[in-house]
Amino acid sequence: MKRPSARAGGEGGLLAPAAERNKHPILAVLQRVLPERGLVLEIASGTGQHIAHFAKALPALEWQPSDPDHEMHVSIARWIAHHRLANVRPPIALDAGVHPWPIDHADAVLCINMIHVAPWQATAHLMAGAGRVLPAGGILFLYGPYRRFGQHTAPSNAAFDAQLRAVDPRWGLRDLEAVVDIAGEHGLGGPEIVAMPANNQAVVFRKESGTDQ
């Protein structure tokens, strides 16, 4: 099923305006925190705009897109083909809550704008899966809007939260402190928190040594 915010794109696959707006600031953080080489797994790749943009800018890394929605696989493949990317694997079906994941190792895991449009249990599943596939020192990168210390960080975030909960009461902006706590339960330390445009946050965890799941 097509994402509500996605539309047909003229250059490749589906086009989500939000992904076009945030792909450049996200890449600026990834260029600093990702390893120079290795495999990067993206959870909930959606249209494929992000992974195509990142893979083009960081060609020494290998990229694995994933999404539980097979319609998104078509869009992802079109973006890969459009940019002629040899460092992106074909998309795989991955639901964070289904164990085992269809991939058992990644040097970094990205998850952008997912956990607020999924039940809270999906965050727990994401952390558990990342804890299993990442080596010591591996990166888990999250991006999206969060509450801080029980409060929204902007009126626009409060309105967005209400909109999400009206669609599905299991959805909504998460308390970043609760996300950090559950990450720690799976050996993911830190985090580094980076303020991003439009009241979003980039959150960078590192897999701690001696915490194989």
| Residues 92-122 pLDDT 10s | 999 999 999 999 999 999 999 999 999 999 9
- Residue 207 within any structural domain of the chain: no
**Count: domains in the chain:** 1
pLDDT score at 1: 35
pLDDT score at 147: 98
- Residue 81 within any structural domain of the chain: yes
- Residue 5 within any structural domain of the chain: no
CATH assignment of the domain containing 42 = 3.40.50.150
Cα–Cα nearest to 204, from 153, 140, 117:
140
- Residue 162 within any structural domain of the chain: yes
pLDDT score at 4: 45
- Residue 160 within any structural domain of the chain: yes
- Residue 15 within any structural domain of the chain: no
pTM higher than 0.75: yes
- Residue 113 within any structural domain of the chain: yes
Low-confidence ranges of the chain (pLDDT < 70): 1-11, 211-213
For residue 134, the enclosing domain spans: 20-170+177-198
The helix/strand/coil state of 203 is: strand
Which string of DSSP letters, residue by residue, matches 39-77?
EEEEES-TTSHHHHHHHHH-TTEEEEEB-S-HHHHHHHH
